[in-house]
């Protein structure tokens, strides 16, 4: 395998899928006959069952047992499809299953799941509001899977669309911290675009994209008015972008 393919395969999962692993577990609702939001005990029990299945999948994935993880995530999908009361959990379950397929190198299956998940977010994708960021998050996973399927031309167009959606969300954000988060996400997408441009033999363009990402990530990292966790994420992404830029310039 060539260096550029090896480097891309090493960098992208940590860069794009790392955030998923850091997400907090779903909040546990207080049990009662009917909670204040109108959630029945039956739905609470189903959600608890689903969370248990997904947690088992997460543990298996963390240990590197992708086969066991996928089995659990498929069970979670089947449960959601069977139980109408779990309709609100469909998106989370699809994300887990797609990521399981991706980590298990079942790329075609991952592409299908991520594509279906994106279709289900059509309202967010068409929204002229900050909700466009939700669509971009889902589409980014699809773009990554396409890249790993060596579909570089479609992956490039896909990531460019993701960047545009993050910029749209940035435009509609009504508070500074939200604006900087969307700036960071758009910059991280530029790093992915840079990787693909290099795969397509467009190294000068890849360098331009990486340099733009570094500038934007630096602005987020240096913004003392936002939460330290956001600055830390920007710093990690900045380090990856700087490493990529260094490699690109070395082979130019």
**249 and 142 within one domain:** yes
> For residues 36, 37, 41 and 44, what is the CA-based torsion angle, rounded to 10 degrees?
-130
What residues form DSSP beta bridges with 34?
A: 40
- Region 125-146: mean pLDDT is 91
pLDDT at 33 exceeding the cut of 60:
no
For the record, the structure tokens of 168 come out as 């749209």
**174 and 228 within one domain:** yes
Measured distance CA(40)–CA(57) in Å, rounded? 26
pLDDT level of residue 129 (50, 70, 90 thresholds): confident
- Region 229-245: mean pLDDT is 94
Burial of 250 (0-12, 13-18, 19+ CB in 10 A): exposed
Number of domains in the chain: 2
Angle at 48 (CA atoms; ends 46, 54), nearest 5 degrees = 105
Please report whether residue 140 resides in a domain.
Answer: yes
**204 and 159 within one domain:** yes
Burial of 217 (0-12, 13-18, 19+ CB in 10 A): buried
Q: Domain of residue 136: give its range.
A: 129-252
Q: Which of 90, 120, 150 corresponds to the end of one domain?
A: 120
Measured distance CA(32)–CA(41) in Å, rounded? 6
**169 and 58 within one domain:** no
**134 and 113 within one domain:** no
**241 and 148 within one domain:** yes
pTM of the complete model? 0.82
Please report whether residue 181 resides in a domain.
Answer: yes
Residue with the bigger pLDDT between 141 and 33: it is 141
């Amino acid at each position: 395998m060539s260096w550029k393919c090896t480097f891309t395969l090493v960098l992208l999962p940590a860069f794009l899928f790392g955030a998923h692993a850091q997400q907090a577990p779903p909040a546990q609702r207080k049990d009662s006959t009917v909670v204040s939001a109108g959630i029945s005990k039956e739905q609470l029990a189903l959600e608890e069952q689903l969370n248990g299945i997904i947690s088992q999948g997460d543990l298996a994935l963390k240990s590197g047992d992708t086969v066991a993880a996928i089995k659990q995530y498929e069970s979670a999908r089947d449960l959601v499809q069977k139980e109408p009361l779990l309709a609100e959990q469909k998106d989370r379950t699809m994300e887990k299953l797609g990521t399981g397929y991706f980590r298990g190198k079942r790329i075609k299956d991952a592409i299908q799941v991520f594509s279906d998940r994106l279709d289900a977010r059509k309202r967010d994708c068409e929204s002229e509001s900050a909700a466009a960021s939700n669509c971009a998050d889902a589409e980014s996973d699809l773009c990554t899977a396409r890249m790993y399927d060596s579909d570089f031309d479609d992956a490039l167009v896909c990531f460019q669309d993701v960047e545009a959606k993050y910029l749209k969300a940035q435009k509609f954000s009504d508070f500074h911290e939200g604006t900087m988060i969307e700036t960071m996400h758009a910059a991280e997408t530029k790093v992915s675009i840079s990787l693909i441009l290099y795969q397509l033999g467009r190294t000068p363009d890849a360098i331009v994209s990486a340099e733009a990402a570094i500038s934007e990530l630096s602005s987020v990292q240096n913004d003392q008015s936002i939460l330290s966790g956001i600055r830390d994420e920007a710093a990690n992404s900045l380090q990856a972008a700087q490493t990529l830029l260094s490699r690109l310039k070395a082979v130019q």
